[in-house]
Every structure is written in structure tokens, then in C-alpha cells.
Amino acid sequence: MRTVLEVADLQVHFETARGPFKAVNGVSFALHSGERLGLIGESGSGKSTIALAIMRLIKPPGYIAGGRILLDGTDLLQLDQEAARTRRLADVAMVTQGAMNALNPVIRVRHQLLDGLEAHGVHLAKNEVDEWLAGLLDSVGLRPEVADLYPHQLSGGMKQRVCIATAISLNPKVIIADEPTSALDVVVQRRVMQTLRKVQEQLRAAVILIGHDMGLMAQFADRVAVMRAGQIVEIDDVRAIFARPQHPYTRLLMESLPSLDQRDSLLRSGPIARPAAEVPTP
């Protein structure tokens, strides 16, 4: 399996009155092409900070204190501002939590989608625009008319679909989804995750799914990394983690879930999961 993204010994600190706070403290992992990696851990464990470091959007008082982030062999941390900017969306896209506020309320969906393109110097001819928009919206399960709506005319699920459409608009190699469904109700959550999975498979993009819902992870991820206090305490195949959690903290997370039997059936029959045969066996 080819590695698209490799994070090595990443250190992200926040300057505080009591000295640097190590929000990410020596994190390493590799992401294979087309892989779905779950990043799980309690709130404040540093998950979003890792995502923002990969996007090169850590802002003061935060700073990257060390490590490497290799995307297809290029160290993103060595790029200048402008090069880092053009990598966003084109190579690594991110879907944020809080879908309700992710879209600009005074801009139609059409322009929200096109602005990302134009930021990368891609200008579609007038007669191509509608077709391109319709295709993009269709791939996330939205009708073409949605392009001409304002965000307040969309439901939460539709908004998050628009965000996913934005994220895939330039065929990125890696999509980071930071608790993409946290603001949505359970039914909508599931459908949005299905959509994310569908587009991910079509693009063969690798995905990092950040979340704290073990059930959702079980149905989506190939591998799971468990974070605690800025470190990855355990990273393994999803079935292995569920069957034999090694770290006490992982076991603690598991206890919030149904029994082992149910967990196993969750893995196998969840609506988002592939047929059992395709889930790599430990």
C-alpha cells in the first residue's frame, strides 16, 4: 500500500502564561492512499490541532514545535505561506465540525463552490459552470437547483453536503473530516457519512475521520488511532481495536459501547460498513 501522508513526531505547542502547552506531543502515523483512518479521543486531546497542522493553519499562540508532515514526500511544514495556501483544498481538504455555520450566509451555494476553484486559479468557461456544479452537487446527493440557494434555505444535512462538495471540488488526495456530523441528528448523521464514504471511494482519496463516537468509527474506519493528551496511545486495525483494546484508555472508551457480540455485529452489518469480506482481518 502506498503512503500518501506521513506525520512524524509532530509537536504543536500553545504559548501560555505557564510556559508552552503541548497540545500535540510527538504524534506519528501514516495514511495509505484510499484508506479511512479514524482519529478518536476525548475533547481537548489534540485531534483538531493535528488537522490544522496538516492544513498549515496553526495560528498564534500556537506554533509547530517540531516534526514533519510529508504529503507524497513533500514536507508541508517546509513550504512557504503561498505554497501552503495552494495545497489546501487541492491536495488536502478539510470538512469542519459545526456544519450550521460553515457557509457564508450572504453567498449563494454556487459561489461558495466556485470560490474555492478560483482561489486555485481554476476558471470554468461560462457554459461549463452549470454542468460542473450539477455534477458536483449530484455526487453529494443534492439537486442542481441547490446551487442558487442561500445557506439559510438549506437543512443542516444539506449544508454539510455542500461542505463535502467543496472539499472534493479539486479532487484532493486527503480529506480530513473533523466531527463532520456532530451538529446533526442521528438519521441525518448516517446519511451524511454514507455520502462522505461514497465520494471518498469514487475519488480514491484517503480520509481522516475525527470523532468521539466509537459506533460511527466502527462503521466507517479501516484503522483507528486513539488519542489522549496530545499523544496517540494506540493505533490499529479497527477490528483489532474493537476486539482487543490494548491501552487502558481505549478499553475505557469501549465500555461506552454495547457488548462484544453487538460490537462485532456493528462492525459487520452497520449501514456504512462494507461487506465483512472487505474489512481487512487482523
Residues that bind Mg ion (CB under 5 A): 48
Interface mask toward another protein for 235-264; x: CB under 8 A: ------------------------------
Q: Which is nearer to Mg ion, 48 or 181 (CB)?
A: 48
Instruction: Tell which one of 11, 25, 48, 219 touches ligand ADP (CB under 6 A).
Output: 48
Site string for another protein, 29-68 (x = CB under 8 A): --------------------------x-x-----------
Q: E strand or H helix at 32, and its extent?
A: strand 19-32
Least distance from another protein to the Cβ atom of residue 60, Å: 10
State the alpha helices, DSSP H only, in the chain. 47-54, 81-87, 109-118, 126-139, 156-168, 186-203, 214-220, 238-243, 248-254, 260-269
CB of 24 to another protein, least distance (A): 18
147-158 burial, b at 16+ Cβ within 10 Å, e below that, comes to bebebeebebbb
What does 150 bind: Mg ion, ligand ADP, another protein, none (CB cut-off 5 to 8 Å by kind)?
another protein
Count residues near another protein (CB under 8 A).
50
Cα separation, 198 vs 201, whole angstroms:
5
CB 14 within 8 A of CB 61: yes
Q: Helices 156-168 and 126-139 meet at what angle, rounded to 10?
A: 120
Residue 126 within binding range of another protein, rule CB under 8 A? no
Q: Is residue 228 at the binding interface for ligand ADP, with CB under 6 A as the rule? A: no
Closest alpha carbon to 91 in 73, 103, 109:
73
**Residue 102 binding another protein, by CB under 8 A:** yes
Q: Is the dihedral of CA 250, 184, 175, 107 positive or negative?
A: negative
Whether the Cβ atoms of residue 113 and residue 199 lie closer than 8 Å to each other? no
Residue 265 touching another protein (CB under 8 A): no
Name the binder of 208 from ligand ADP, another protein, Mg ion, none, CB < 5-8 A by kind. none
Indicate the Cα dihedral angle 64, 65, 66, 68, nearest 10°.
0
Contact predicate 40/227, CB 8 Å: yes
User: Considering only residues 25, 35, 38, 62, which one is a binding residue for ligand ADP as defined by CB under 6 A?
Assistant: 62
Stretch that binds ligand ADP, among 41-49, 81-89, 187-195, 234-242 (CB under 6 A): 41-49
Q: Which residues contact ligand ADP by CB under 6 A?
A: 14, 21, 23, 41, 43-49, 61-62
